[in-house]
Amino acid sequence: MSIKSLLDQRVLAAMAAANIPGECPANITISSRTGFGDFQANGSMAAAKRLKTNPRELAQQIVENLDLRGIADKVEIAGPGFINIHLAPAFLSEQLQCLSADKKLGANTPTPQTVVVDYSSPNLAKEMHVGHLRSTIIGDAVARTLEYLGHSVIRQNHMGDWGTQFGMLIAELEEQLGEGEQVELALGDLEVFYQQSKKHFDEDRGFADKARDYVVKLQSGDAHCRKLWQQFIDISVAHSEAIYRDLNVTLKHTDIRPESAYNDDLATILSDLQQQQLAVEDQGAQVVFLQELADKKGNPSPVIVQKSGGGYLYATTDLASLRYRSSTLKADRILYFIDARQSLHMKQVFTLATKAGYVTGNISLEHLPFGTMMGKDGKPFKTRSGGTVKLTDLLEEAVERACALVKEKNSAISADEMAEIGQKVGIGAVKYADLSKTRTNDYIFDWETMLSFEGNTAPYLQYAYTRIRSIFRKAGTKYSDVSQRINISEDQEKILALKLLQFGEVLQQVADDAYPHILCSYLYELASAYMVFYEHCPILKENIPSEIRDSRLAICQLTSRILAQGLDLLGIEVMEQM
């Protein structure tokens, strides 16, 4: 149990003993100012208002009934009725020792769930671009965190591999292959290939007709079109997977369940919606009008499930996938990491799926939107000439910049080490810059700040980790040799200890709200508290008694474990030196 929950329990018991109604919360918070204890119980003010009595007197009654023996060594009342709790160093030492003996570092969910996480999900017609970066990075961090807490996580990469563009693309591929081109070469640059086929489509009528014909053939299972399509898909998927590897993202090949996987379900979904009289004909198309999402004037929100030509849409596929995730995968919770601009689409799909009975009542459907990645000019991130930035180019640049930076700091590093460090620092910086911002806001992509060794950045945290490891090298003590007897005495140790003990709680919050920036802020505060501890509490100095040295080494070790574990949950790697 976290210290906060423990205090909550004890204060509530004291409040009950003071005849305060059970609905009144204890309001335990971490003290924000030094000298005001480690925690505060602020519930007396609201309770006094309710009972129409004096809050300070009520606080006094609570304190008289409060049993914190073995937990706190001082409890005092301040201001209008705050109760300041000073934890006992012996209690903190004991808690820290338990934490250090816990393989999971205090993180464990009491209620494991099956959680489906839909993320990355690029469209295969084109190269993956920066727009998919946020979904991939944020979704992966949340999936890792849920898994670490003990949930059963099912990753779903809902790749867009089906739709009208594919007729054009396979018609183009057929022509290029006919001219003796190799598949890998023709599709070496998907962006260029897409532009070529688009141009062809716009300028050549015969080609455009063929492209349209190929869509129909593809969707009705024509073997020739299927084969071309498969060749195209295989290469496009390989492009995405190369990026996942570079990005250190946990998505595996088997996590891909693309749009085409639901092809056979679409007709069933449509006829079911018709039978339930949800889908009706409107100008030749099949449409569901959702009164639940009506606009201000009362006009219902239309969801087209089949176009007049017979083609199905993005929404139809999402209904089928939602039904699959609910009834086959048996999800308790489904998370969608998709751009904020698809909010209406998600609302429509969730509303309609619920209405049609494709999901059961207590499943939680959550669209977790994110803002746009902006350039330094405050406009959506583009290349200098205004084109979309390819992810491979961006990641390559990150690694190059990181290598240059590390070389500047430490010229004695070998070429091999440099390659490894550059990769970890460069990729870490890009990921962390994204993850550390509140997900729902737009954010500015800026090389200088993300690669800085100061402030809330990946290099700062990776560097903090290497500093701790270097102490062990200096101490000549192997990790496993550190005695785990911890004895907190200094204020800086106490502050660090309290931070370390919050790890599990922080992860729980990330899992509940899918906001990885909470974990980033925590790790940054942890590293900063460590730096202060390190400055004030000597470890390897001559005159330091061995029990104190060992206790401090154990604190260092625990800090490094939590830093490394926290960064790993963000998909960021650490190294021994940099």
Residues at the contact surface with ligand ARG, assessed by CB under 6 A: 118, 121-123, 158, 160, 318, 321, 336, 338
480: exposed, middle or buried (Cβ count in 10 Å: 0-12, 13-18, 19+): exposed
- Six-digit token pair at 448? 């200088």
Please state the closest distance from residue 103 (CB atom) to ligand ARG, in A.
Answer: 35
Toward ligand ARG, which CB reaches closer, 148 or 350? 350
d(CA 318, CA 370): 19
H-helix or E-strand containing 114? Answer: strand 114-118
Give 567's contacts (C-beta < 8 A, 6+ positions apart).
Answer: 428, 458, 461, 462, 465, 523, 573, 574
Toward ligand ARG, which CB reaches closer, 132 or 499? 132
Give 114's contacts (C-beta < 8 A, 6+ positions apart).
Answer: 151, 152, 154, 329, 330, 331, 332, 333
Toward ligand ARG, which CB reaches closer, 193 or 350? 350
Q: Are 188 and 176 in contact (CB under 8 A)?
A: no
**CA–CA distances in Å: residue 394 to residues 162, 251, 411:** 27, 20, 25
Toward ligand ARG, which CB reaches closer, 242 or 340? 340
Toward ligand ARG, which CB reaches closer, 121 or 306? 121
Three-state DSSP state, 121? coil
Please state the closest distance from residue 323 (CB atom) to ligand ARG, in A.
Answer: 12
Polymer length of the chain: 578
Toward ligand ARG, which CB reaches closer, 342 or 392? 342
Toward ligand ARG, which CB reaches closer, 176 or 388? 388
Q: Are 525 and 545 in contact (CB under 8 A)?
A: no
Toward ligand ARG, which CB reaches closer, 83 or 338? 338
CA angle, corner 213, sides to 210 and 214, nearest 5? 85
Toward ligand ARG, which CB reaches closer, 321 or 492? 321
Toward ligand ARG, which CB reaches closer, 318 or 573? 318
The pair phi, psi for residue 56, each rounded to 5°, is -65, -40
CB atoms within 10 A of CB 286: 23
Give 433's contacts (C-beta < 8 A, 6+ positions apart).
Answer: 443, 445, 446, 449, 450, 457, 458
Please state the closest distance from residue 336 (CB atom) to ligand ARG, in A.
Answer: 6
Nearest partner of 29 among 14, 44, 39, 43, judged by Cα: 39
Please state the closest distance from residue 122 (CB atom) to ligand ARG, in A.
Answer: 6
Toward ligand ARG, which CB reaches closer, 158 or 517? 158
The pair phi, psi for residue 334, each rounded to 5°, is -125, 125
CA angle, corner 151, sides to 148 and 152, nearest 5? 110
- Looking at the DSSP assignment, which residues form a beta bridge with residue 84? 40, 76
Toward ligand ARG, which CB reaches closer, 324 or 524? 324
Please state the closest distance from residue 322 (CB atom) to ligand ARG, in A.
Answer: 8
Please state the closest distance from residue 321 (CB atom) to ligand ARG, in A.
Answer: 6
d(CA 246, CA 233): 20
d(CA 321, CA 118): 10
Q: Quote the DSSP letter at residue 540.
A: S
Toward ligand ARG, which CB reaches closer, 323 or 469? 323
Please state the closest distance from residue 339 (CB atom) to ligand ARG, in A.
Answer: 7
Task: Identify residue 184 by its one-letter amino acid code.
Answer: E
CA angle, corner 503, sides to 502 and 509, nearest 5? 90
Please state the closest distance from residue 214 (CB atom) to ligand ARG, in A.
Answer: 21
Task: Identify residue 50 by its one-letter amino acid code.
Answer: R
Please state the closest distance from residue 412 (CB atom) to ligand ARG, in A.
Answer: 45
CB atoms within 10 A of CB 203: 9
Nearest partner of 318 among 301, 303, 300, judged by Cα: 303
Toward ligand ARG, which CB reaches closer, 266 or 464? 266
